[in-house]
Structure 1
Amino acid sequence: MKKVVVIGAGAAGMMAAATAADRGLDVTLVEKNHRVGRKILITGKGRCNITNNCDIEELIENVPTNGKFLYSAFYTFTNEDVINMFESLGVKTKTERGNRVFPESDKAHDIANALHKQVIDKKVKLLLNTKVEEIIAKDKKIEKVILDNKKEIQCDAVIVATGGVSYPLTGSTGDGYKFAKKYGHTIIDPKPSLIGLEICESFVSELEKLSLRNIKIELYNGKNKKIYDDFGELEFTKYGIDGPVVKSASCMMKDLSKNTYKIVLDLKPALDEEKLDKRIQRDFQKYTNKAFKNSLDDLLPKKLIPVIIKLSGIDENTVVHQISREQRKALVHLLKNINLTVKRYRPIEEAIITSGGVKVGEINASTMESKLIDGLFFAGEVIDVDAYTGGFNLQIAFSTGYLAGYYC
């Protein structure tokens, strides 16, 4: 019977192990943590956005790094297949805004537990608290793996599903890169993706923990060319900005040591400047004899008001009816154009996803097998593919895990 070792019991690894076992193979799943699916438990703020219920072409469009490499994977094991798999495992799902698919329970551990139960039910040998030290190949063909307790497992195939280098406490510490490099694979330098951003402007620290909904951001490069925009939620932090729209924007930024970027924040995207001006005129009429600092409560969150006043250049004690038309127009423009200069990414350890990894040109896109070593397969985040938020990264894990498990 063909023997397979899967390294890493995250979404991709458990998917690969269950798929290989389904084919009647002898499968051993090795996980260095004390439990499976640790990263699954923190995805989607603990709710676990398992996939996105859009069409396949849209899935590919939402993978800015090497999306075309995933054609075969996405068409072989689709987002519909992911939903059906979890329904068959007893996890009911629901689709929310932006076609994001979650478990009905809103509990990520229901997803991790279902995948765990599936590998156990399919008679996969699961080794927890165990680390693979080395993969051994002879004559460019997989022969065995050596564990940290010096035990050897003879095998015909190895599936590397070790993740990237983000969230190292979940076990993603770059082990897969070491294995791949040993046998001649090129590693595209890992960098953070889906990460918060540090901002140069000092006022952001005054807004720490302020969350804004229904805002719009536009991302501009150093040549002042717009390269991305998004609508949704943003959160200010001690160091800058975070939240779904910021994480997605971070995917679009290339090397920050060589390139500069700014984000333009629109607090009122539902109103153009003319309509917003009329809205502010109504508020100013209501508070005509009040100080400027007491006139914005209907328009903005309390925490944001002092910062907007400071940026507007209007004295906070100016009586509202004394504010000129030019000052009011400048205020309108400010509310739709707050400039935030990107200083750097937050540390890669905080990133949801690692961008970079094993070069896709050295992997067979139809099978996930190495083009350099027979029997060596890759699945999930260890490969140089990454996507926006919205369930796309877990779909990558499930689809590539399925291919690796099916063809190993």
Structure 2
Amino acid sequence: MTTHFDTIIIGGGPSGLMASIASASNGNSTCLIEKNKQLGKKLLISGGGRCNVTNNVPYEEIIKHIPGNGKFLYSPFSIFDNQSIIEFIESNGVPLKEEDHGRMFPVTDKSKDILNVFLNKLSELNVSVQTETTVNSIEYDSETKLYNIITKQQSYQCTHLVISTGGKSVPKTGSTGDGYKFAAQFGHTITELFPTEVPILSDEPFIQSNELKGLSLKGIALSVLDKKGKPVITHEMDMLFTHFGISGPAALRCSQFVYKQQKKQKTKQIKMAIDLFPNKNETELMKEVTNLIAENKNKLIINSLKSILQERFIQLLIDRLNIDIETTGHHLKNEDKIHLVKTLKHFSFSVNGTKSIEDAFVTGGGIKLKEINPKTLESKLQNNLYFSGELLDIHGYTGGYNITSALVTGYVAGYSTTLK
């Protein structure tokens, strides 16, 4: 048995949901096929279960936070943008609130309220939803110009096909890379896939010994260094030491640059550096440390510095600089003080990669963008075939940027199927 639709969307994540709604809103008979039991699993877990649905900042700011080919989105943004997302959600009964850095959340802090907007809209537009349905193969009939989508249960036929199956990150949500196989079948190039927004690994002795495990550093500047020791990227945020390396917002944002430097430098070991006081220059910090030590000249250095840094980190610094743990402020050599301040401004250490793509929040790499029309998201290699979301070689930082890309490209792909 074969059922015919104008448009079929494969993948019921954020991008596929939006593509289905855009297609059906413009009069196409539309079918959404999803292999999971429920739609929008990734939407439910985004933003820690609160759903950071988009970001309320200007285009330029969004593009800046999508280091993986964000400029491709200029054309899609001219059709549907972050403000369109906000309007879509709020006009369907779910008010949003703005938090730090423009992040938009439902006022209720419940991601299921966002998902329900999409589910209600699908129902209202009579989209045929097929869950627990895995696509085994896709065939294209060049005579009838129809796509045949074969599943275990039955086959479906359509004029326009949108593939929105996600990347390879968070596979428990159903993102297992199926779409890359289908894209390649139609001649598309898949650039190398790699983990982004993922914790970083280190085999440094102080990491392996767990001496800093669980230690959080607030408002530091974390950098990935090139082979000359110059920063290629710096993020000023919080970070966390773990039993395997580093995590937290700053580390996640630096992770893709660790991968890229490994490729560029052709080595596994990459240097990173922490500036513990990014808002003070070395002269200002030297003055502060000098005053602190002078005020507590009879105290051990480790105790004097507790007011500006956690004890475990001070201990590590003192060990690294070969300063006797029993040294008081009165006996601290000037050269040791100079080295201490320099290290506070530039604590360098080695990392040797990141956790796997399955552990990442976002997949780097994907379908080569030169093969996609940015105005329609249609394949340049195959008529009436569209791609959207994380399948494309677009990746951003966490903070509502990836979901914005997914929803915008999903809308444009779905809307474009109605223009022919």
Q: TM-score range by the shorter chain?
A: over 0.9
Amino acid of the structure 2 residue aligned with 1:392:
Y
Which of residues 31, 34, 46 in structure 1 aligns to 2:49? 46
Indicate which of 255, 260, 269 corresponds to 1:254. 260
Where does 1:39-118 land on structure 2 (aligned, <5 Å)? 39-118=42-121
Partner of 2:238: 233
Residue by residue, what CA displacement relative to the aligned partner does 1:81-117 show, whole Å, maximum 9, x if unpaired? 1111111122222222222222233333332232222
Taking a change above 3 Å as real, the CA distance of residues 202 and 120 of structure 1, as seen in their structure-2 partners, is: farther
Name the structure 2 match of 1:282.
291
SS in 2 for 1:207: coil
Distance 1:310 1:103, change over 3 A: farther
Q: Select 2:158's aligned residue among 130, 155, 160.
A: 155
Contact 1:6 1:29 in 2 (8 A): yes
Query: Structure 1 residues 330, 251: closer, same or farther in 2, change over 3 A?
Result: same
Q: How does 1:288-299 map to 2 (within 5 A)?
A: 288-299=297-308
Other-structure match for 1:310: 319
Equivalent residue, structure 1, for 2:366: 357
- 3-state SS of 2:38 partner: coil
Name 1:388's counterpart in structure 2. 397
Deviation at 1:161, TM superposition (A): 0.5
**Match of 1:10, as an amino acid?**
G
Tell me the amino acid that sits aligned with residue 228 of structure 1.
Answer: I
Moved more, 248-257 or 176-185: 248-257
- Does the residue aligned with 2:284 lie in a helix, a strand or coil? helix
- Equivalent runs, 1:185-204 vs 2, <5 Å: 185-204=188-207
How many residues of Structure 1 are paired with residues of Structure 2 in the alignment? 407
CA distance in 1, matches of 2:117, 2:251: 31
Counterpart in the other structure of 2:342: 333
Aligned-partner SS, 1:180: helix
Alpha-carbon deviations, 1:323-379, whole Å to 9, x = none?
A: 112211211111111112221111111111111111111111111111222221101
Q: 1:386 to 1:80 in 2, by over 3 A?
A: same
For structure 2, the residue ranges without an aligned partner over 5 or more in a row are none
Asked if the contact 1:177–1:382 (Cα under 8 Å) also holds between the matched residues in 2, the reply is: yes
Query: Quick one: distance in 2 between partners of 1:359 and 1:325?
Result: 56
Task: Judge conservation of contact 1:381–1:397 (CA < 8 Å) in 2.
Answer: yes
Counterpart in the other structure of 1:146: 150
Does the CA-based 8 Å contact 2:170-2:358 persist in structure 1?
yes
Q: What does the per-residue CA deviation read over 1:249-278, in whole Å, with 9 as the maximum and x for residues that have no partner?
A: 223341625525322111111222222222
CA–CA distance in 2 between the matches of 1:135 and 1:106? Answer: 39
**Counterpart residue type for residue 102 of structure 1:** F
Of 43-52 and 190-199, the range deviating more from structure 2 = 43-52
Q: Does 1:243 align with 2:248?
A: yes
Q: Which residue of 1 aligns with 2:176?
A: 173
The residue matched to 1:70 in structure 2 has which SS? helix
TM-superposition CA deviations, 1:148-175 (whole Å, max 9, x none): 33x0111111111000111111111010
Report the secondary structure of 2:113's partner residue. helix
Match of 2:377 among 361, 368, 392: 368
Q: Which has the higher mean CA deviation after the structures are superposed, 378-387 or 89-98?
A: 89-98
306-315 vs 327-336, which deviates more? 306-315
Cross-structure match for 1:121: 124
- The within-5 A match list for 1:204-215 is 204=207, 205-215=210-220
Q: Distance in 1 between matches of 2:187 and 2:113?
A: 39
Aligned to 1:323: 332
Greater displacement, 175-184 / 388-397: 388-397
Question: What CA distance in whole angstroms lies between the structure 1 residues aligned with 2:411 and 2:37?
Answer: 24
Contact map agreement 2:46 2:111 (CA 8 A) in 1: yes
Which amino acid is 2:387 matched to? F
Across the aligned residues of Structure 1 and Structure 2, the Cα RMSD in angstroms comes to 1.9
Aligned counterpart for 2:17 among listed residues 8, 11, 14: 14
**SS at the partner of 1:296?**
helix
CA–CA separation in structure 1 for the residues paired with 2:225 and 2:264: 15
SS at match of 2:74: helix
Kindly state the Cα deviation for residue 191 of structure 1 after the two structures are TM-superposed: 0.8
Using the TM superposition, give the Cα deviation of residue 187 of structure 1 relative to its aligned residue in structure 2, in angstroms.
1.0
Deviates more, 1:69-78 or 1:163-172: 69-78
